[in-house]
Amino acid sequence: MNPRAAAHRILGEVRRGALSDRAASRILPAVDPADRGLALDIAFGCLRLRARLDTWIRACADRPPSRMDRAVRDWLRIGAYQLTELRTPDHAAVGETVGAARSALGRGRAGYVNAVLRALARIRDTDSGAGPNALAGGGPFPDPDVDPVGHLCSWGSHPEWLVRRWLARWALADVRRLVEHQNRPPVVVVRMLTDEDPAPPDGVELEPVPGWPRSFRLEKGLPATALSHLRAVIQDPAASAVVDYAGGRLEEPVLDVCAAPGTKTLGLAAEYGLPVVALDISHRRLARLGAPARRLELPVSAAVADARRLPVAAAGTVLADVPCTGTGVLRRRADARWRLEQRGLDDLVVLQREIVDACAAAVRRGGLLVYSTCSLEREENEEQVDAFLDRRSDYRREPPPAGARSDCVTSRGDLFMRPWLTGTDGAYAARLRRIA
Ligand SMILES: C[S@@+](CC[C@H](N)C(=O)[O-])C[C@H]1O[C@@H](n2cnc3c(N)ncnc32)[C@H](O)[C@@H]1O
């Protein structure tokens, strides 16, 4: 399948409710391996930068994208992404896109796509301000100094409610850097489970991630090829930091109650040299833990369970890496920002409270409960933990373990990774000791 047609199919499936990763893994096998990277880049770029691309399209079409035929709009986004972000030569970006669109749309509607994309190429060239991957002003975008929210929502391509809540909390310059970070394609990071330097196989190149000693960015090659030769997992430094933050010595038995797909489970078992029981409500997701656990020969067992009704008491250590909005990992989930809404956040806070309360009952006196998220939102993080400690006087917050990076620890002692400072995903964790 033509890579642009594949990107269009992915956008169509996501529009109809599919998750972007799953849509991509269904459609990409039909694309020539040499073209898969381009198809994925275009599809995920169109999802991440949807609002930016629509602002360009709005500036040269006769109607707003919201009033366009959806299939036509997706073709326009695909063309606009190539013209403004990939800087594909105009003749290829317009010609190839219109060519692929013609067989799906027919001549008339493909002619419309052609006219709008040609106009876009013209206005892009008269605009000097808005370069690729920079939060610059100019072109059809609001002036960032006059209308920072409008700019972050259009050029920054984030939903307004998220932009407003972040601006109420952090400086404009930080929110800009956060938005910019979430708009870049994510990197793949290999976390070594030993102290040895990795010896990658032919065709794989790894670069150390500064500041994160056992983390290496995959520069070349496939993750599966890298892992087949290394004692390692694919894990962003933020997720590794949560594993490290659990502490210097863990009490057994160790339970990971929202474990799937299990990279933190593997990290816990390898780092602390202990058996770990992995529980998750999703059988399908949990099944992904089996093969890497066998490859690494780690003592991990898995079972399906609802963390709100744990079939365990007297655990020594419980990790609750709860379901969350994932606002710290938006760059990894191309379509996620457009699915999130305040109500979803509120519902997740309730679910997290139920899970943390059930976990509290499963930990024995003296044991440790580690609560973590990949969210940046207070309600899911420190406010959730503060409210828990108000309910449970038999728990207290434990200080960070030795070796925790001070720039990633809050005034309360919790781990908090801010992507615009660390260059990693966002993550939060708190250590809660049962004292009675
Ligand atoms: C943030 S992910 C966990 C990621 C995992 N810890 C890792 O590092 O690979 C949250 C997980 O919680 C699971 N989950 C959601 N509701 C649950 C519940 N009530 N009980 C147990 N697991 C649940 C989801 O299936 C999902 O796998």
Question: 70 with 121, same domain?
Answer: yes
Closest CA relative to residue 181, chosen from 240, 218, 146, 135 = 135
What pLDDT digit, counting tens, does each position of 374-424 carry? 999 999 999 999 999 999 999 999 999 998 999 999 999 999 999 999 999
Give the pair of three-digit tokens for residue 40.
Answer: 């994925």
Of all protein residues, the one whose alpha carbon is nearest to atom 17 of ligand 1 is 281
Predicted local confidence at residue 128, as pLDDT: 46
Q: Would you please indicate which residues are annotated as catalytic (active-site) residues?
A: 374
Q: Look at the pTM and tell me if it is higher than 0.85.
A: yes
Is residue 301 domain-shared with residue 377, that is, in the same domain? yes
The CATH number assigned to the domain holding 374 equals 3.40.50.150
Using the Cα atoms of residue 377, residue 267, residue 261 and residue 39 in order, give the sign of their dihedral: positive
Cβ 429 under 6 angstroms from ligand 1: no
Write out pLDDT tens, residues 319-347: 999 999 999 999 999 999 999 999 999 99
Domain end point (choices 85, 105, 128): 128
Neighbours of 120 (CB within 10 A): 25
Q: Residue 2: CB within 6 Å of ligand 1?
A: no
What CA–CA distance (Å, rounded) separates 336 from 321? Answer: 19
Asked if residue 160 belongs to a domain, the reply is: no
Six-digit token pair at 341?
Answer: 């809404």
pLDDT, tens only, 86-105 = 989 999 999 999 999 998 89
Residue at which a domain ends, from 205, 233, 261: 233
Residue whose C-alpha is closest to residue 240's, from 190, 293, 184, 299: 190
Residue 182 lies in a domain: no
Cα 349 to ligand 1 centre (Å): 14
Residue 120 and residue 226 share a domain: no
Residues in CB range of 203: below 8 A, 6 or more apart = 220, 221, 225
C-beta separation of 363 from 369 below 8 A: yes
The rounded Å distance from CA 330 to ligand 1 centre is 17
CA distances from 313 to 255, 262, 318, 348, 367 (A): 11, 22, 11, 25, 11
Strand pairing of 205-209 and 315-321?
unpaired
What percent of the chain shows pLDDT beyond 70? 97
SS3 state of residue 12: helix
282 lines ligand 1 (CB under 6 A): yes
Domain total in the chain: 3
| 257 CA → ligand 1 middle, Å | 7
Find the angle CA(337)-CA(342)-CA(345) to the nearest 5 degrees.
85
CA distance 195 to 213: 9
- Sorting pLDDT into bands at 50, 70 and 90, what band is 138? low
Nearest to 97 by CA among 67, 68, 117: 117
What average pLDDT does the structure give for the chain?
94
Domain assignment present for residue 163? The answer is: no
Q: Which atom of ligand 1 is nearest to the CA of 282?
A: 25
Q: What is the pLDDT at residue 135?
A: 40
DSSP per residue, 80-131: HHIIIII---HHHHHHHHHHHHHHHH-HHHHHHHHHHHHHHHHHHHH--S--
Does a structural domain hold residue 363?
A: yes
Range of the domain at 17: 3-128
Identify whether 352 is part of a domain: yes
